[in-house]
Chain A
Amino acid sequence: MTEKEFRRLSSIYGADISRWPNTVQITAGRWLGDHPEARRDLRAVDEFDRLLIGAAPQIGTERVERIVRRAVVRLAGNGMPQESFAVALAGGRDWRWTSQGAVYLGLFILGCAANTAVRLLSAQTPFDLLFATNISLPLGG
């Protein structure tokens, strides 16, 4: 490690070498051992680090608890977590709902098919045929 590299890393990550990237910690420690004069510079860097760390927001337990409560209350007004479309179609992660989901889906498809069939059979004009096959209105009159 060169002095330039050591200075670069200390100006980014601060004086605590244990917080530098894992790959350079050992070589940086050795370099520091061989260059005691660099310790003086690191002391000033450490002072700056402490100022930054000291500026961290103080988050009290009461505040944390208040926000957790708010989130839980808000949750009560929400539905189930969103699933991906495929997982949702399959009844979610809880596979016991799969059979029920399949029954409802089957009934829906059967209803759409029956409705389309009735409209096709009762069609009297080409427009009626067109509307009868419009699948965007499967349950419409």
Chain B
Amino acid sequence: MSAELGWDGRETLDDVLMSQVADGNASAFEVLARRHMRRALAIAQGVVGNPSDADEIAQEAFMRVWEFAGRWTPGRAQFTTWLHRIVLNLSLDRRRKPQWVAFEAVGEVADDREPSATETVARRERESAIERAMRKIPPRQRAAISLFYFEGLSGKAASDALGISVAAFEQLLLRARRAIKAELATAGLDLQGGMP
């Protein structure tokens, strides 16, 4: 999950694959897409909220990777940073109002033990409050949450993907966290003792 847990070690292979893609190698494209599609989908869905829109965006992002592979310069930047930027630009450009779907619709998180009815209700309330909050915050704040919390990127990597400074990213993330926390408080789910 974390950017430090595997992405860096794969950059060389990504560079090799991109070089082959630039030569029109469809098999290399397929390998590259299979390696990074999950993350592209997750980032897109984190920003636009709608799974079917996210599917379109992720697919389009990889078509752009194919189309502009010739412009790729190995070593100048990480492939993943380039891909994240494409996915984010496509997601943020989508003018349609985000249609966030209920968490129940995207599958339950696996849990070894059966939760009690109270726990289930409490969890659904929290999920619902987070869902509402995510719907309300601006797309760029959603992008910051998506990159840092959903995808586990470092602040530096996330700011690179968004094309902003680390300081600007920090402000974006701070505002997003505050907005979500305020929504949770409105829903009566205030986190006691939390730092401001």
A contact set with B: CB distance below 8 Å: 7, 10-14, 19-21, 40-45, 47-49, 51-60, 63-68, 70-72, 74-76, 78, 80-84, 87-88, 92-94
Contact = CB atoms under 8 A, between A and B. Distances in A.
A10 B173 CA distance: 11
Contact of A67 (B23, B55, B149): B55
A53 B195 contact: no
A65 to B, nearest CB: 8
B63 A58 contact: no
B134 interface: yes
A90 B70 CA distance: 13
A45 B194 contact: yes
A60 B30 contact: no
Contacts of A66: 55
Interface residues of B, number: 62
Q: How would you classify the secondary structure of chain A's contact residues: helix, strand, loop or mixed?
A: helix
A82 to B, nearest CB: 5
Interface stretch (B40-48, B78-86, B89-97): B40-48
Given A12-B173, A71-B33, A82 B68 contact: yes
Contacts of B10: none
A53 to B, nearest CB: 5
Given A11-B177, A72-B26, A57 B150 contact: yes
B58 to A, nearest CB: 6
Nearest to B108: A58
B23 A94 contact: yes
B69 A81 contact: yes
Contacts of B155: 12-13, 19-21
A52 B24 contact: no
B171 to A, nearest CB: 8
Contacts of B62: 71
B34 interface: yes
A68 B150 contact: no
Nearest to B131: A55
10 contacts: A21-B166, A47-B191, A48-B177, A48-B194, A67-B59, A70-B59, A72-B29, A75-B63, A82-B70, A93-B70
